[in-house]
Structure 1
Amino acid sequence: MKLIEVRIYGFGKWVNETIPFSNEGLSYVYGKNEAGKSTLHQFILYILFSLPPRKLQVFKPQKGGAVGGSLVIETLDSGRVTIERQPDKYDGEARCFLENGEEKQESFLKEILNGIDRSTYEAIFSFGLHDIQHVQQLHSDDIGDILFGIGMTGSREIYDVEKKLEKELDQRFKKQGKNPQLNQQLVSVKEKEELYQASKQEEEQYAYLKHQEDELQNKLASLQNSYKDVEASIDRLERKQQAVQPLLAYQELREEEKDIGEHLTFPENGVERYYHLKDQYLPLKSELEIIEQNERTYRDKQNELDEVDVRILESLKELEQEKQRFDVKKEQRDQINQELEQRKKKLQEEVDSLGIELTMDEIATIHFPFYIEEHWQMLSKQQRDIDSEDEQYQQQKQVNKEREHQLISEKETLEQSLLSEQEYNDYQEEVDRQYQKEIQQQVDNQHKQQQDSLKDYRRRAMTLTNKLLVGVFAFAVIGISMSFLLNNWWLGGGTVGLFGIVVMAVTIIRKSLPGVDTSIGEEIVDRNEPSTTSLTWYKEQLATHDRIKTELDQVFNQLQQLQGEMMKLDERFASLDRQRQRFYQQVDEQMELHPFLRHVDLDYWPKAYQKVISLKEAIEHVRQQEQDVQQLNTYISSYEQQVETLANQVDVDKNVSIEEQENRLFQHKAFIQKQLELKETYSEWLVTIEQQKQDVQEKIKPFEEEIRKLLRFANAEDEEVYIHKGNKVKRLHDIKNQKKQYYEQLYSIYLNNDMVESLLSSCLDASSIQQERKEMANHKQELSEQIDSTRQHLSDIVSRLRTLEGDESISKYRHELEFEKSLLKEQAMEWAVYKVAYSMLRNTKSKFQQERMPMVLEYCKQFFSILTNNTYVHVFVPSSEEGLVVQTQSGDRYTANQLSQGTKEQLYVALRLSLSQVMSDQHGMPFIIDDAFVNFDEDRTKEFLSLLTNISHTQQVIVLSCRQYIQDILNKQQIIFL
């Protein structure tokens, strides 16, 4: 494949540019810094391999325009092909146009590239200055991976399989790991072994724990009795402690009540009533004073105002009303003038932008039939439909071919997967035999489950009756203790009788429990012998055989159906071709009628019609606006004359502008209006104030009379005596209420009036009560801790006993241990399978790399020797973990990082050229070098260019550089100037 020409619509700094390349020999592209060489390189890669939207955004033209372009290439099979790619067309996919006019999709481009993707192309056929820095880091495995990746079909899948195998092996086993599957399973087997050994020792602890249970129950009953006695004592002390504060407060209030006395003459709620009257009286009094002050102020201001001319005021009002219309008209005129200027300029620009050789006069006089727009839309739609159907035909044809190959491949694969007739009969007999055995096993398992349920029921019944006996025993102990305390022998006798009845009932229930048959479990174990091959496996093989036969029939039917669809598709394409010919004839007729359509693409004919009609309407609108401006100018002149007339009447200076005259006239009008408004306002206010004054005086009289009545009732000379007497009455009422509250608090503590009355005459010491309560609380805490400790110890022992009584852990742990060992064996087999597959894949990959690596190093040795003028004669890689090593004529060896910068770059260039040469037979792609010889001196540059010239005889080479002296070395015909 060779690059012939680059056509850039818009990409970075490049807009509407065409750059041709030399068809023969070396193509040298020269340009200074920032000339766009790297952008040109990226454009070529974008057309061939596309770019993600985020990365493509960087190359969007700064001045706007469409992104994309096309490449013209030449191939051996298809001749000259034009590859076009734009992000806003065909979802960013490329379109290929052949010399015969045929259009191909992006799949055709991928066929031309022969499996090369962007990363592979940049690794072999393209490099720049920044790539050279990594030469000392290249190992044999890196070069081998490149060769393997581009030299084998499906290498991506092989790489994925290799990584998947590595992941599976790491997930299953590591020598020092903890999380892998096999490591965890080994730990699980060890834990199950330890649990099985520990369960054997637990059976010996049952007798010892039973003796401890009896001792702890007796100790717990004794501690609980002592705890109840302490609680009763604490309750009595708490009652006394709660009563100390309300008792002292009650006694203090009783003494204060005696000092005040009980016979005082005072109105009910007298203080509150007095303050309430004062709160209403004082604001009214203050309001009356303010009203009188305002009345004096308004009369003084009213006398200060001058007389005004009312006729002048009316004329000014009319002028102000007209001013609003004047401003609107003037703004309309200015706006219309501005719009007219913009519209005329825009119309001319729009006419020029049409590019269809029509003037404004022609547009104004042009006429179209009423149906022409719909006719052009129909033609545009026909073109899109024809193109769409043609594209669908090509796509469907390709899909049918791929589907036919796929069905044939599926048919062959399915036929190979069928069982032979003998195998099918043998598997069917084995399924019948194991099915009978499985039915018998299910019957045995069902019987065992019934026995397990009975055993569990018996265990739960025993546990429940044990708890019942313990509870009734505790209740009997409490009842007997209460009978001794209360001296009630009937209570003790009844408790003992109840305990005896419960014991008899528990004995009867335990005897009535069903027995458990333990022999059935041993019989099931004997019959459950493992079979070499499970019934499920045979069923799966037979089901797979039947499914494959059904799929074969379906594939055969699909093949026949596909052949019929392909015949129908060819008939539809012939009909499409006839439709295309009729369409071309109609388009030619329209171009004859309207010659300007020859300059417009058919898809834009309807838009061209709308644009021409829109421009014609805009021109008519401009002419109407010019008439409107003339009318507005007449009105504005009349208004300005009226302003000058009024200015003479009020002595306004004529030498100022119309706007200033207007402002002074309106200021004079505002002054006159303000004078009139103030006079009217002051008159209204004086009338209002007089009425307010009378209203307030009427409101004050009732409050003054009510205050005098309160003072007379309390025999008080003034307000101070009245308030002091009222406070005494209020305090006496509060004392009675507080005494009642404290009495209720004492009653809530003892719930006995006699005890409260006796307490009111006694004296309590809060400190002694607190000390005694603290001592009893400490004793209670000690007893509680002992009870909790004893109860917890007893609970642990009882729980342990119940666990031992119903424990089947020995059998359980033995079966779990065997199961974990079996699972460990299966996982080890899976790990071995993955290990063998991974080793085979690594060997295959290594063998393929060894076949291609010597050829790469041989080319690299030749090229490196030429570039260094035979200073270095050999290049090799000692091992996969080491970098490149070179050897001089004298036999000295150097690693890549021991070489000078220029020699490193020569070594890297030689290696990239050798990779390209090895792969050029299979992938004949252009070789692009982007300024990769910055550190070459003039002699090295000459050798490098000479080598590239030789290579360009068999493979196209494109060099991008800013080195001007190279122009003297190369033929001018080989240089492309940017």
Structure 2
Amino acid sequence: MKLIEVHIYGFGKWVNETIQFSEEGLSYVYGKNEAGKSTLHQFILYILFSLPPRKLQAFKPQRGGVVGGSLVIETPAWGRIKIERQPDKYDGEARCYTNNGEEKEESFLKELLNGVDRFTYEAIFSFGLHDIQHVQQLHSDDIGDILFGIGMTGSREIYDVEKKLEKELDQRFKKQGKNPQLNQQLVSVREKEQLFQASKQGEEQYASLKKQENNLQNELEALQNKYKDVETSIDELERKQQAVQPLLAYQQLQEEEKEYEEDLSFPENGMERYYHLKDQYLPLKSELEVIEQNEKTYRDKQRDLYEVDERILESLKDLEQKKQRNDVKKEQRDHLNQEIEQRTKKVKDEIESLGIELTIDDVENIEFPFYIEEHWQMLSKQQRDIELEDEQYQQQKRVNKEREQQLLSEKETLEQSLLSEQVYDHYQAEVDRQYEQDVQQKIDNQHKQQQDSLEAYHRRIIALTNQVLIGVAVLFAIGISMSFLFNNWWFGIGTFGLFGIVVMGVSMIRNSLPNVDTSIGEKIVDENESSTTSLTWYKEQLATHDRIKTELEQFSYQVQQLHGEMMKLDERFASLDRQRQRFYQQVEEQMEMYSFLRHVDLDFWPKAYQKVMSHKESLEHIREQEQDVQQLKNDISSYEEQVETLASQVDIDTNVSIEEKENQLFQLKAFIQKQLELKDTYTEWLFTIEQQKQDVREKMKPFEEEIRKLFRFANVEDEEAYIQTGNKINRLYDIKHNKKQYYEQLYSIYLNNDKVKSLLSSSLDSSFIQQERQEKTKRKQELSNQIDSVRQQLSDTLSHLRTLEGDESISKYRHELEFEKSLLKEQAMEWAVYKVAYSMLRKTKSTFQQERMPMVLEYCKQFFSILTNNTYVHVFVPSSEEGLVVETQSGDRYTAEQLSQGTKEQLYVALRLSLSRVMSDQHGMPFIIDDAYVNFDEERTKEFLTLLTNISRTQQVIVLSCRQYIQDILNKQQIIFL
């Protein structure tokens, strides 16, 4: 049988979930703690085997919904089958749906499971971490019982018979028992025998028995003191056993801590701070390297240019401008001067009208980053959001306060309407009394109905007798008439006699009728009228009292809910307050950077930014116009002079015309301008680069300084040494944190700091402690047996003393002794019958188990050898009363208790896998493992998963685990993520 798909309607934390398992190979279900792996395991068991209602209650979804779900399984005989189970359908029984649409009942599922019940399934095909912890307690008989239970039809009935026989035998006789029937009877016989012998000895034994009583009392007291001392020692050893693992871990951490005891100096959150600074510093460093490379390129190009006289070029430029526009430059100059004056006055007036203490110089010098406008818009919106949320908080707080006052007021009003306890008890007593009256009234009503029936019976009898009398009277008249007519007096006398007899009979019938009691009906009517009104009023008062109490409970619950809402509202306000503080800090930073913002409302910051930028652009335009005016003046005044001066400077023939001079000068100007333009361009670029370098270096300085401070604080010179020191600090912190946890574990065991501190400097041997504990436990049992023996002796002595003191007759004890012996013989015969039946049943089980046990141990040996990398080569059970024993390659043998925790778990896993392997041919059930290898190291885990993968080729294996590293071992297709 294979599990194909799980669909959960509602079960624990799972609601409306579908999980599909791998049809071939290993299915590994991964989920973190609390992901629902164990719940999924229990759901599969619930669908297959059901759960009692009390246990199922724990898996009801917290938010309500339908409980239950379905499994899709695949079997060789039937193919795919859907199994559905819900507690509120079909009395919680499962329904099975085959591929051809047939619907089967719970009995069909039991046939599919082939006799496997929940106990057997969990014993063979399913296990978890809790099961592994009991491997040292597993004996041969336990394994045999599992094999016998799954291997035989009707094993449950055989098991029940065996338990019944064991119970009967235990109730009749135990070797060391006191309460069984035969033990008690033997004690009784011994007591009678002793009494009989004591009665013959007489009072000569009295003094000896008194002395013996004193000695036994003293001996009992000494043994009890020793018993208490042994119990104290066992308790101390158990504490030490619990403390072995945390103590060893603590001492190992303490030794490791000594390696870090040199004086380490390291800043708070040093690694995070360093990486944060480095993340910001490296982009700036890269940017600087790019800028320096560009600078080198431009300087090389600049050196390749021809050397020219820049003054001549400037003169030629002026001359060229004056030649073309000399006639209109005066007009342009006047026009520009007027426009500059008007623009400057307008900008100044507009800046002053803003009222934010800004001057023209401030506007020219101010610089904004590109994102500042959006940042100010965000701050404005954030302010409005905070104000709105604060207003909502205050409003909600007022509403909650009013609601609380209303609820408390209504509650107080209802409490005043409650009946006092004395009045409530009085009304209840009245209702009970009226109830008793109602019962009596019903009895009276029944009696009245009987009287009514009797009265109706009277009327019917009287009517019948009247009819008889009338008929007899008519016959009498006819008879008399006939006697006169026929003159026959005997006939008349006979008729008269008959008439008399009939009248006498009717009279006797009427007198024999029982009397009718008519007073009962009147009494019932009076009592009904007097009690109905008062009973109804009392019931109404009690019902009103109960209803008010229910409403008070509802009011209390509403007040608690309201308090919870108010606490959540206060937490929300605290978060809002922190948000407001961050907002104020951001606003203050902006006002520190731009002081004029202190005079502008936050909502108008974006608009102020637009205004300032507009004025800044206007001022830049004005400064450009002023330069143009000055240039015009120079051109107009020097145009003619420049022509001659420049001509003479460049060695142009003075005899040529001015036009020729201008032509030659402009040709020279074009050449010089070309060279100077390239030089100016490179110079400008180099200047810009220099500014960029300075800006980047300025940005890098704070980060470099902060990094140097971190290095100085850590007493290191470079990054590598700093990171090494940081790693040491982190490890030292982990060591101290883990030491604290282990110390708390030790304290939880001893609850005494002095004992824990004393224990830290000592060493504990788990095997020695276990051995000593076993010796103490054995000693405890011996003392217990001795105490029981002394108590029995003391009881016997006291009994003898009472016998002697009572002066009973020896004849009486002889008869009692004979009677007890005969009773003992009868009980012994009954015990012998049960003993023979039990022995035959045990022999039958032993024969069956011996056939299967070697196969289980053989598979267990193979699997355990694989899991331990051939460290252990044999697994066997010396006797039915002893646990599992393993043997190494060198021939050394160890019990399960002597193995490490990880090896114990491997032994248990091997045993469970071998049981499943032996029974898989008869019962091919899926094998489910729930996080059963928590103490496996990575190598053991790989071996374990490889073994499971091999087993999964013939039997479906599902592993539930929270171990994430296994994802690297397995194929991703094998993993199901929850």
For the aligned pair, the TM-score class normalised by the smaller chain equals: 0.3 to 0.5
**So what's the TM-score if we normalise by structure 1?**
0.36
**So what's the TM-score if we normalise by structure 2?**
0.36
